[in-house]
Structures are given as C-alpha cells and as structure tokens.
C-alpha cells in the first residue's frame, strides 16, 4: 500500500510545469502532503524518461513517497516506461486518465481515453501485469458526459487498483463547473481500493466536508496548494484539533518571496522569471482582496520591482489571511474563471 492508517491521505496533485522538485521543497516547511505525484511522463513509441521529472523522483524519494505519473495510450511503450520507472525509487505508478487539455485529449491520451473504454480496459490489464509497485489511476468522470462512468468504475474494480483518484468533473467541464462529489462517492462504493477526492478543495473546511460527503480515503489538492501552501497542515489540524492557524499578510508575503526564489532557473531571463511567477500568483490573487485589484494589477506588471512593490502594498500587514477564493467577476474565458470556486 502507498499509505495505511486512520488518517486521511493527503496528496499534492500532479500539475504540469508546477509540481517539480523545487515546488515540493517549497511546500515542505508549511506542512508537506503524504504523497507527491510527479508531472506526467509523456509516453509514446520513441519516448524516454524526462530527465527533469526523474530528477524530482530521485532527489525527493528520501523525504517522502513519490508516485510517478504516465500519460499515453500505446501499450508497449507504457509497459517499457513502467519497467524503466521501476528501476528508480518510485513509491507507485499512476496512469493519467483525466488531463483535459485539448492538446492532450485530441491525441487520445489523458482524458481523451475516456472516449474509448475498451482501450482503457486493455491498457489497465496490460499494466497490471507488469507494475510491481502500487498501481493507481487519476481519472475524470467521463469525457462529454458522465453516462459511461458506471462502466468505467466496473473496469477499475476489475483491475485491482491500489489507489484511485477521481476529479469530479468531465473532461469537457474542464475547471468551470461545480464538482460532482456524489460521483466520487459512487467510486468509493464501487472499488475496493482507497479513493482520493479531487476538485476544488480550496480550504481545510471544504476538505473535511468533501471527505464526509464522499467517504473518500483522502484528498488530492492542486491549485489550492499553490494559493495556500498551509492547506495540508490546516486539513490535519482542523480534523484533529478543530482549529487552524491562519497566516498573516507578512507570512503570505514571505511565501511569495520563497516562491520567487524557488521558480528561478539557470538561463531564465528576469522577464521570463517574472512571467512564470505570475502564473502561480493567478491562484494566490483570487484570495487576496474581494475586488480583485491585486489580481488585475499583478497581471499587468512586467518587472521584479513592480511585482514586489505590489505584493508589499497588499500583504505588508499582520492581519490574518484565510486565502480562500473570493467570488470575483472574471470573464468566462479567464484562466481562473470557475477553477477556484
């Protein structure tokens, strides 16, 4: 098993171009999750293990369990990749059946495989034969609709998975709809393995509500952890003590400084570095002020000096900041519209 015990499993979701070794190390002092899932290894006929992702696995393994995630649809290539990954200190191997990015699903990978349940069945059967470590799947509840979800759950149950993560939306819903937590509860009843609930866990309170309503064995949290790196510790504390410690503005400002340092890389220009940091601050921004002024102004700035001047303006205070998302009036196509509610 990946984990055992009465305490809910808390996992950091795999997020492409986010959840690398630097981000894992950044989160650790705030309260690390129990499981780290890698960015996905792209698998195809001529693929090789991504060196950057593999470095995260190797260098973090001593600090805690790392689950290597794969994305692809070619069975021989997936089998080859499993065998290669098992030569490294992976705590488990996960198959991505949920990525909603069009560039992925148009290739019948990630969430695109949910349009072909026969292919899903064949892939899981082949991988179950060769995966020696715990084998898991991260899925959505369907592609266009959840009509085939019961059959999908039957397939998962037939292949003796060790862990299942369910994001309670279809691929087409992306991040813009309500999360269908009742569908996660169905998975808990349908499979024998532990189920992690995923989707819009934006606070410790929401996390405990989701655990109660779904009966899930744990939570997988992604965007909420970018905005609030304290969230894993807060979930634990709220469950065990009934209260949480809320960071002050100064502590959030310190987190931004640490984030800025963590995202630096050799050869990255200052301008490119700022743009990379701003992508992460999109998630923080929805929890700073109810008018969305921080978010709007942050998106227009271009220099390091401008970024930290803005952060000091909004965060240089000792008032508590829950970092829960405000219902901002964002345009429908805004990257943050609906993804944080």
Using an 8 Å Cβ cutoff, are 198 and 13 in contact?
Answer: yes
- Residue 331: the pLDDT is 74
- Residue 5: the pLDDT is 65
- Residue 337: the pLDDT is 67
Three-state DSSP at 280 gives: helix
**CATH of 9-241 given 3.30.70.2860, 3.20.20.70, 3.40.50.880, 3.40.50.970:** 3.20.20.70
- Residue 1: the pLDDT is 46
Please write the tens of the pLDDT for every residue from 73-94. 999 999 999 999 999 999 999 9
Q: Could you tell me which residues are beta bridge partners of residue 221? A: 12
d(CA 103, CA 201): 26
DSSP sequence for 8-36: PEEEEPP-TTTSSHHHHHHHHHHH--SEE
Using an 8 Å Cβ cutoff, are 244 and 322 in contact?
Answer: no
- Residue 176: the pLDDT is 84
d(CA 93, CA 216): 20
In the block, residue with structure tokens 């090789």: 48
- Residue 303: the pLDDT is 97
Of 334, 316, 7, which is closest to residue 325 (Cα–Cα)? 334
Dihedral sign, Cα of residue 85, residue 70, residue 272, residue 27: negative
d(CA 102, CA 90): 29
Residue spans per domain, the chain: 9-241, 246-341
Which regions in the chain score pLDDT beneath 50?
Answer: 1, 340-341
Annotated catalytic residues are 99
């Amino acid at each position: 098993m990946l984990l055992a015990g009465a305490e809910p499993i808390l996992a950091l979701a795999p997020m492409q171009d986010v959840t690398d070794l630097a981000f894992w190390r950044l989160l650790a002092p705030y309260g690390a999750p129990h499981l780290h899932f890698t960015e996905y290894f792209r698998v195809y006929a001529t693929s090789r293990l991504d060196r950057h992702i593999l470095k995260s696995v190797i260098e973090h393994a001593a600090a805690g369990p790392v689950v290597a995630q794969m994305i692809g649809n070619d069975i021989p290539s997936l089998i080859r990749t499993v065998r290669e990954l098992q030569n490294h200190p992976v705590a488990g191997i996960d198959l991505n059946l949920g990525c909603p990015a069009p560039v992925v699903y148009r290739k019948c990978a990630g969430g695109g495989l949910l349009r072909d349940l026969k292919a899903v069945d064949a892939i899981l059967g082949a991988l179950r034969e060769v995966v020696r470590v715990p084998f898991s799947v991260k899925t959505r509840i369907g592609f266009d609709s959840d009509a085939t979800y019961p059959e999908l759950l039957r397939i998962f149950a037939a292949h003796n998975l060790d862990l299942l993560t369910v994001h309670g939306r279809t691929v087409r819903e992306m991040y813009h709809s309500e999360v269908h937590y009742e569908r996660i509860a169905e998975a808990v009843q349908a499979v024998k393995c532990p189920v992690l609930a995923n989707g819009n866990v934006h606070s410790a309170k929401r996390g405990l509500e989701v655990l109660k309503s779904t009966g899930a064995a744990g939570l997988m949290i992604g965007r909420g952890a970018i905005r609030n790196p304290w969230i894993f510790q807060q979930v634990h504390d709220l469950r065990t003590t009934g209260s949480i410690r809320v960071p002050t503005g100064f502590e959030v400002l310190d987190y931004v400084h640490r984030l800025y340092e963590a995202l630096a890389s050799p050869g990255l220009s200052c301008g490119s570095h700022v743009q990379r940091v701003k992508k992460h601050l999109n998630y923080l921004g929805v929890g700073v002020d109810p008018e969305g002024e921080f978010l709007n102004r942050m998106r227009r700035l271009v220099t390091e000096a401008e970024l930290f001047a803005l952060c000091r303006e909004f965060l240089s205070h000792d008032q508590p900041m829950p970092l829960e998302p405000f219902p901002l009036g964002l345009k429908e196509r805004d990257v943050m519209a609906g993804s944080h509610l």
